[in-house]
């Protein structure tokens, strides 16, 4: 069931016109370095993230197995100064978004104090990412319209933008990034209109991966010419050991990162009929020659299972830290770094035998 939730969220967020994938990749706002220590501060977003691990999985995949560590910390437990983070994610919001200039000013003064405190406890030259407020989810009647409060939250967001600029932080607007998903939810992103569930935590991670990491909407895109050459404009993978005959196409593919975002594959000039895509010997998708010619997006198979293994290893590590057993995470952390390194996969496209009933 959980895999179905993930697949639905992925398709909802990532399906895009194939031509859009040919646009230049955005320049990332955050670049992780070997040895970075990343801290997450703010319970509303990072409490669910600690339980589900979607953002940390994407950041770990971006690091590609480099020695980057992640911790979920509190402003009050005294661990921030000892951890000395080099990258800090902050999501700081009031308990209630009260309307009016006086309330916003009081919030601004409090944020200045908190941000200054965090900066003094972080490592020298630490990089900061400040997140804006989450939008409220639109729920069926008789639940109230979230529009008025989201408008109030936009006023608080302007204050956070000013704080971010004053302290030379990277700012990401969650109101802008998630407005549509929270206003027209096909999968509910919260448990009660505010508390993020797995789908909502996944949507936050996706919303951050684009601007922060420069991720395109597809993990990789591959279009093969009739002679087996890779079409210009493809990205995110390296193809080797290409073989093409009248009956089969096979090659080895190494993705740039272990990500659970969709992949797009296109084959040109196939013989008429249905063709099955195998990855590591397992069929992951069947389609007609015309459908493969148009390009297909898929979200299942060994590559996605590897990304899910990485996420689950992160969740287990976070659970150990939550239990106060930091001394026991060396092996889980080493496993995470291992899982974050991409491995090659064998791809095959073969004809599907005619299975129609005989007359």
User: What's the pLDDT tens digit per position in 51-60?
Assistant: 999 999 999 9
pLDDT tens-digit readout, 317-341? 999 887 656 567 788 888 999 999 9
Whether residue 166 sits in one domain with residue 150: yes
Whether residue 269 sits in one domain with residue 150: no
**Percent of residues, the chain, with pLDDT higher than 90:** 65
Q: Which of 109, 112, 105, 65 is nearest to 90 (CA)?
A: 112
In angstroms, the CA 179 to CA 176 distance is 5
Whether residue 282 sits in one domain with residue 134: no
- Residue 228, pLDDT > 90, answer no
Whether residue 236 sits in one domain with residue 207: no
Whether residue 69 sits in one domain with residue 90: yes
| pTM score, whole prediction | 0.86
- 87 pLDDT band, cuts 50/70/90, is very high
Residue length of the chain: 359
Domain membership flag for residue 345: yes
Average pLDDT over residues 107-111: 92
Whether residue 221 sits in one domain with residue 210: no
Domain membership flag for residue 10: no
Whether residue 262 sits in one domain with residue 191: no
Total domain count, the chain? 2
Domain termination site, one of 196, 215, 234 = 215
The pLDDT value recorded for residue 270 is 92
Domain membership flag for residue 288: yes
Domain termination site, one of 172, 192, 215 = 215
Whether residue 132 sits in one domain with residue 103: yes
Average model confidence (pLDDT) across the chain:
87
- Residue 159, pLDDT > 80, answer yes
Domain membership flag for residue 110: yes
- Residue 184, pLDDT > 80, answer no
Whether residue 326 sits in one domain with residue 187: no
Q: How many CB atoms lie within 10 A of CB 131?
A: 26
* Higher per-residue pLDDT: 185 or 260: 260
Q: How many CB atoms lie within 10 A of CB 135?
A: 25
Q: Which of 235-239, 253-257, 281-285, 351-355 has the lowest mean pLDDT?
A: 351-355
Domain termination site, one of 156, 180, 215 = 215
Domain membership flag for residue 211: yes
Average pLDDT over residues 228-250: 92
Bridge-partner residues for 40, per DSSP? Answer: 72, 89
- Residue 220, pLDDT > 70, answer yes
Domain membership flag for residue 21: no
Whether residue 251 sits in one domain with residue 335: yes
- Residue 22, pLDDT > 50, answer no
In angstroms, the CA 207 to CA 229 distance is 33
The pLDDT value recorded for residue 103 is 93
CATH for 66: 3.40.50.1110
Domain hosting 131: range is 26-215
Whether residue 225 sits in one domain with residue 329: yes
Whether residue 190 sits in one domain with residue 76: yes
């Amino acid at each position: 069931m959980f895999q179905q939730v993930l697949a639905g969220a992925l398709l909802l967020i990532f399906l895009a016109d194939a031509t859009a994938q040919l646009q230049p990749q955005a320049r990332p706002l955050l670049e992780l370095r070997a040895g970075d220590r990343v801290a997450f501060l703010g319970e509303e977003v990072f409490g669910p993230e600690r339980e589900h691990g979607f953002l940390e999985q994407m950041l770990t995949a971006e690091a590609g197995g480099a020695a980057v560590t992640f911790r979920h910390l509190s402003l009050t437990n005294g661990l921030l100064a000892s951890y000395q983070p080099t990258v800090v994610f902050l999501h700081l919001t009031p308990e209630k978004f009260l309307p009016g200039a006086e309330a916003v000013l009081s919030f601004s003064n409090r944020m200045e104090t908190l941000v200054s405190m965090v900066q003094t406890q972080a490592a020298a030259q630490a990089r900061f990412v400040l997140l804006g407020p989450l939008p409220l989810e639109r729920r069926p009647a008789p639940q109230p319209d979230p529009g008025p409060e989201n408008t109030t939250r936009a006023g608080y967001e302007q204050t956070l933008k000013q704080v971010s600029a004053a302290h030379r932080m990277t700012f990401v607007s969650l109101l802008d990034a998630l407005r549509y998903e929270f206003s027209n939810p096909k999968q509910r992103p919260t448990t009660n209109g505010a508390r993020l569930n797995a789908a909502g935590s996944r949507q936050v991670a996706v919303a951050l991966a684009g601007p922060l990491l420069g991720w395109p909407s597809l993990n990789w895109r591959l279009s093969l010419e009739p002679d087996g050459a890779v079409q210009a404009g493809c990205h995110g993978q390296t193809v080797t050991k290409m073989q093409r005959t009248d009956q089969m196409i096979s090659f080895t593919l190494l993705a740039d990162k272990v990500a659970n975002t969709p992949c797009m594959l296109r084959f040109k000039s196939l013989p008429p009929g249905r063709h099955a895509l195998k990855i590591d010997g397992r069929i992951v998708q069947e389609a007609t020659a015309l459908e493969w010619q148009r390009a297909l997006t898929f979200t299942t198979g060994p590559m996605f299972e590897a990304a899910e293994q990485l996420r689950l290893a992160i969740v287990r590590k976070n659970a150990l830290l939550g239990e106060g057993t930091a001394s026991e995470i060396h092996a889980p952390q080493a496993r995470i770094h291992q899982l974050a390194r991409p491995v090659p996969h064998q791809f095959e496209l073969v004809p599907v035998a005619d299975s129609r009933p005989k007359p």
